[in-house]
Amino acid sequence: MENKDKQEVLIDIQNLELIYGTKKNSVLALDNIDLQIKRGEFLCVLGPSGCGKSTLLKIIAGFIKPTNGNCLMQGKFITGPDWHRGVVFQSPTLYPWMSIKDNVEFGPKMRGIPEKEIENIREHFMEQVNLKGFEDKFTFELSGGMKQRVALARVLANYPQVILMDEPLGALDALTRFNMQRLIREIWKENNSTILLITHDVDEALSLGTRIVVMSKRPGKILKEFNVDFTNIIFDNGSKHVLYSENYFQVKNEILDLINSQIEE
């Protein structure tokens, strides 16, 4: 039963191509992408910078339309942004004119959820991201890591089908990053979320993802996929020992070789 559940395809990308700009000045950003995101998986996208990772995420989010090919969610064409697909941006786009509480409640409020329910949702997710007691603060009173946690809570509050994250930890220092990775893993586990996370950090991808997609340099194509399970092992053992295993290094080296081959050429 659970196995069958995991097979459900949430996002289906077929033969996707994206060209920026007009004919004379055009940039082929994505070429011939086929990708599926299944319910419950944690998909990490790796690739050299400028290869079109953000572009891919923006298409799934509905911010831009594919030039050719299809992008479907649960069998329906994606025509624009939608609260079923929550987005966490690299630099948090929290609204500075709202308190933390209002930021987290923004989604449910926009959707007309009853007041009482909104309160419960907010309390639940403020706790989940360890920010209880910060409700009445403003975004500029928080550190970078806290802001990103608020951004995460704001997205979670809508109970989206898929969470899309574009290098959400890219601007954080190493220690905060490490803690945030654990938090994201725990949230993914606890909520049975489906996550697509873009990163340029191979270790981050390996320690979080259940599947890793490596993209080529521009125009971005999918070079190779890796199915990994380190994130579940880390979660079950409560330690990151698995990151020192033979197996881990093997996969990591293979991915690094793949990415380096794209940069050097």
Partner 1 sequence: MDTKNNKKDIKFKINKKEPDKSNENISEDKKKRDKTENRLTVATWVVILGVWYIVTKLELFSTTLVPSPYKVWTTFLGILKDGYNGVPLFIHLGTSFERLFIALGFAIVTAIPMGLLSGYSRKVKAIIDSIVEFYRPLPPLAYYTLLILWFGIDNTSKVILLYLAAFAPIYIACVSAVNKINVDYILSAKSLGANQKKIFFKIVLPACLPEIFTGIRTAVGVAYTTLVSAEMVAATSGIGWMVLDASNFLKSNVIVVGILIMGFTGILIDFGLRYLEKRIVFWKGHL
Ligand X SMILES: Nc1ncnc2c1ncn2[C@@H]1O[C@H](COP(=O)(O)OP(=O)(O)O)[C@@H](O)[C@H]1O
Residue 199 in contact with Mg ion, rule: CB under 5 A: no
Residue 54 in contact with Mg ion, rule: CB under 5 A: yes
Residue 218 contact partner, candidates ligand X, Mg ion, partner 1, none, CB within 5 to 8 A by sort of partner: ligand X
Residues in the site for partner 1, rule: CB under 8 A?
Answer: 61-63, 80-83, 85-87, 89, 91, 93, 95-97, 106-107, 110-111, 138-140, 154-155, 158
Euclidean distance between CA atoms 158 and 109, whole angstroms: 10
Considering only 35-43, 50-58, 71-79, 251-259, which stretch makes contact with ligand X by CB under 6 A? 50-58
Residue 20 in contact with ligand X, rule: CB under 6 A: yes
Euclidean distance between CA atoms 59 and 134, whole angstroms: 34
Q: Which is nearer to ligand X, 44 or 142 (CB)?
A: 44
Euclidean distance between CA atoms 206 and 189, whole angstroms: 16
Residue 107 contact partner, candidates Mg ion, partner 1, ligand X, none, CB within 5 to 8 A by sort of partner: partner 1
Shortest spacing between CB 54 and Mg ion, in angstroms? 3
Q: Which is nearer to partner 1, 20 or 106 (CB)?
A: 106
Residues of this chain, 184-223, that bind ligand X according to CB under 6 A: 218
Residue, CB closest to Mg ion: 54
Residue 161 in contact with ligand X, rule: CB under 6 A: no
Residue 139 contact partner, candidates ligand X, Mg ion, partner 1, none, CB within 5 to 8 A by sort of partner: partner 1
Residue 55 in contact with Mg ion, rule: CB under 5 A: no
Residues 15, 34, 50, 93: which binds ligand X (CB under 6 A)?
Answer: 50
Q: Which is nearer to partner 1, 98 or 243 (CB)?
A: 98
Shortest spacing between CB 119 and ligand X, in angstroms? 37
Shortest spacing between CB 164 and partner 1, in angstroms? 9
Euclidean distance between CA atoms 143 and 109, whole angstroms: 25
Shortest spacing between CB 89 and partner 1, in angstroms? 6
CB 172 within 8 A of CB 4: no
Residues 10, 33, 43, 54: which binds ligand X (CB under 6 A)?
Answer: 54
